[in-house]
Amino acid sequence: QVQLVESGGGLVQAGGSLRLSCTASGRTFSTYAMGWFRQVPGKDREFVAAISSGGFSTNYADSVKGRFTISRDNAKNTVYLQMNSLKPEDTADYYCAARPGSRWYTNPYEYNYWGQGTQVTVSS
């Protein structure tokens, strides 16, 4: 069992930056691929970024490519999402997710564990 806790959300003006963190419980964090997803009310959960268990492979949604960076520190059981040049359309609840194994996936149904979410609001 893995428990995930996100932090770092908040209100920011368009063009600003935020860094989200997701800290996992347990001693096997380095064996899990991690993903970040986001969701707005009335819409499906959307893939944002993912990273392999060792951190050597990443993937991004086209909408955030070049603006967001996913990274992880396995010694700290933490995955990060650095978000720069934020836009109002980035406003959403952001969730981190974990799945056993090295490979990342973009489909949220591939992930076994989820955090409670952190809200990001970008004002215009």
Q: Looking at residue 27, what is its pLDDT?
A: 79
Measure Cα distances from 44 to 60, 74, 82, 93, 96 in Å.
17, 29, 22, 12, 15
Q: Looking at residue 71, what is its pLDDT?
A: 98
Mean pLDDT per 10-residue segment, the chain (124 residues): 95 98 93 98 96 97 98 97 98 98 97 97 97
Q: Looking at residue 1, what is its pLDDT?
A: 82
Q: Looking at residue 17, what is its pLDDT?
A: 98
Q: Can you tell me whether residue 85 is helix, strand or coil?
A: coil
Q: Looking at residue 26, what is its pLDDT?
A: 80
Tell the residue number behind the tokens 């964090």, with chain if given.
29
Measure Cα distances from 13 to 16, 17, 28, 55, 89 in Å.
6, 8, 37, 30, 12
